[in-house]
Amino acid sequence: MNKKTDPSGVSAEHLKIANAVEHYVSHGGVINVVPEGTTGESAHPTGPASGADCELEMDTKLELLKGLVAKGAGVSALQYSLRMNRKDIKRLASENGLKIRYSRPVRRTRSTRSRETTTVDDVVAGHAMHYSTLGYTVPEIAQLLGLGVRDVWDIGQAYRFEFNKNREHGDMAQAAPEDKADRD
């Protein structure tokens, strides 16, 4: 509960820090003093050391650019990774003989089968409606008839028939087609 204080006013931690600083400086280390009123982040060293850092940073960015371009990254992805603007990225790429292509899509495009409309005859449509009245859902009907789910929904739209969305176990409610008399 009671704190013991050092009567000399200098704690052991302060002495350890002072010894470490003296050791660092004696071995060639340089400590930059930050002027009062500014922060350490705004006080950047200037001179030959910063030029070497800039060159090293550009070499690192160039290697990263080469790797990303080889993977097919686009300009927007490069901007994010390199933290550079478009103009600087394109300049760096052209200076080093790199060609930036547009980014490749991550997912495959949809298959052509899903885009083409299939013509379904009345027999298949009749089977689909019959399975629906028996209580089958659209994915089950599609599997039984060898169709896609979208094709089954298109049948329902073409024949003005509402398919069951949820499996109804108890009462097997039937969906009555509208205008059935008009089709017969």
| pLDDT (0 to 100) of residue 176 | 43
Examine the pLDDT at 57 and tell me if it is beyond 80. Answer: yes
E strand map for the chain: none
The pTM for the full model equals: 0.33
| Residues with Cβ within 8 Å of residue 124, at least 6 apart in sequence | 145, 147, 155
Residue 142 token pair: 């599609």
Name the token pair of 127. 């089977």
Asked if 141 and 167 touch (Cβ cutoff 8 Å), the reply is: no
Average pLDDT over residues 155-166: 81
Contact 160, 125 (CB under 8 A): no
Distance of CA 135 to the CA centre of its chain: 41
Domain ranges in the chain are 48-95, 112-179
112-179 has CATH 1.20.120 classification: no
Residue by residue, DSSP assigns 1-23 as: -PPP--TTS--HHHHHHHHHHHH
Q: Give the pLDDT confidence score for residue 174 in this predicted structure.
A: 46
Task: Label residue 74 by pLDDT band (50, 70, 90).
Answer: confident
Residue type, 18: A
